[in-house]
Structure 1
Amino acid sequence: MASLFLVAGCASTLSARVTSYQKWPANAQGQSYRIVPSTNQLNNLEFESVADTVRAAMGPTGLVEARSGQTARFDVSINYENPLSQVWVQRYYDPYMDGWGFGPAFGGYYGGYRGWGGGIYMAPSVRSEPVEVYKNTLTVIIKDNQNNGAEVYRSSAVNVSSSDNLAQAVPYLAQAVFDGFPGNNGQVREVNYKRGR
């Protein structure tokens, strides 16, 4: 289960699942873009920080940010969230510690060497338990104003974390959104990044 892998992953790395759709125009190199905030993102310091992170990650697109008041070919919208949700994860329990099974046994039940033999052993039992996690999600949508505002790129990166750390995850999610840009239409992939110290 991917969510289990993401929750249990090493703390020194960040894993994300990226889903991208694209119909990227061939003549887009060097064209201009502008980031268009929604009504509730206007004058929002958190959004401005996220937008700066997305700007920094947009290098692979070949686009250039339009100056203030300049008409841009592409409009970029950014959505982010980290809702708390519940996933089921598998936990392993040692039956020996739970009162079942035996370790190495004297007397050799199955004819051991010099009086030592293997005892009865049962594989660890597996139990599914609910765990609360945060789904750090960043979605970037690019629309082409030369094509009646049609979507030409949409990508979402999701990282599942046991802690509320959206601000720390956003730089990696922004990088993931443009990793391999523009990629194949309908592509789903897993990416892993080493966390900075």
Structure 2
Amino acid sequence: MKMFKKVTAAVLLGASALAVGGCATTLPTKVTRYQAMPVPAGQTFAVVPGMGAAARGGLEFQTFAQLAAQQLNARGYRQVASPAQAQLIVQLGYGVDRGRQVVQEEPFVGRGYGFGGYDPFWGVYTGRPYYSRFGYGFGYGRFGSPFYYGWDDPFWNGGLRVYTEYRSQLEMDIRDRATNQALFDGRAQARSTTDELGTLVPNLIEAMFTGFPGRSGETVKISVPTRRAR
């Protein structure tokens, strides 16, 4: 039974862990939240740019900020136009790295039912991964760290699956404007075969608000149906 569970987990990982790409319909995401949010009672809020690609502002940020605002409005908070008028300041940051090439040895090819390795990100057994040379991430604040360069499209070759894996992240911090007290710190992380922010960020926001505000200090795995920014 244990082996069956590991086999199933490996298959599911290959099918969905890098889901937003091709015809995939979900984005598996890890969400960590710390919160001391007040009970919703019409408190006003404004969304402002955070780290990463959000720091550029512009129409892209406004699109994603409005998605976050819709989520907060639906939960009993009230958006206002200016941070100076808001009781709560919502800082939204996001980005995606440049990708890394992964050559993954499939567990059922050439090894019987053996497994190549253990994936600590998702907690399942997979084929053994190999990585290419180092590149650099997008380099803003906590988002900045080295990543790998890779190729564009996954393909199969003699039991090896070669693809480019991208890691994306969204951070949302909420504080009381008058006292500067931190009320919410959240981080959503995902891996995918696309680096399109228009696909990734709406799904990361959806995951962030699933079960919002959540249990403080808890990390949960959430898969949401993929959507694009409109």
**Aligned residue among 78, 91, 94 for 2:109:** 94
Moved more, 7-16 or 163-172: 7-16
SS in 2 for 1:92: coil
* Structure 1 unaligned spans of 5+: 97-121
Q: CA deviation at 1:57?
A: 2.3
Distance 2:203 2:61 in 1: 16
What letter corresponds to residue 82 of structure 1 in structure 2?
A: V
TM-score, length-normalised on structure 1?
Answer: 0.71
Do residues 64 (structure 1) and 96 (structure 2) align?
no
- Residue matched to 2:177: 145
1:55 aligned counterpart, secondary structure: helix
Q: 1:141 Cα shift? A: 0.8
Q: Which has the higher contact order (CA 8 A, sep 6+)?
A: 1
- Deviation of 1:64 (Å): 0.2
Give the structure with higher Rg (CA).
1
- Does the C-alpha gap of structure 1 residues 190 and 60 become closer, same or farther in structure 2, counting only changes over 3 Å? farther
User: Is the counterpart of residue 74 in structure 1 residue 83 in structure 2?
Assistant: no
Q: 1:177 to 1:94 in 2, by over 3 A?
A: closer
CA contact (8 A) 1:82 1:134 kept: yes
In structure 2, what is the Cα distance between the partners aligned to 1:8 and 1:169?
Answer: 11
Residue 15 of structure 1 corresponds to 28
Q: Distance in 2 between matches of 1:82 and 1:183?
A: 24
**Whole-Å separation in 2 of the counterparts to 1:74 and 1:123:** 53
Q: Unpaired segments of 5 or more residues in structure 2?
A: 1-9, 117-126, 132-163
Q: Which residue of 1 aligns with 2:221?
A: 190
Q: So what's the TM-score if we normalise by structure 2?
A: 0.62
> Aligned residue pairs: how many?
170
Identity of aligned residues (%): 25
Structure 1 residues 3, 50: CA separation in 2 closer, same or farther (over 3 Å shift)? farther
What does residue range 171-190 of structure 1 map to in structure 2 within 5 Å?
A: 171-190=202-221
How far apart in 1 are the matches of 2:97 and 2:56? 21
The alignment's C-alpha RMSD in Å is 3.2
Q: Is the 8 A contact 2:107 2:114 kept in 1?
A: yes
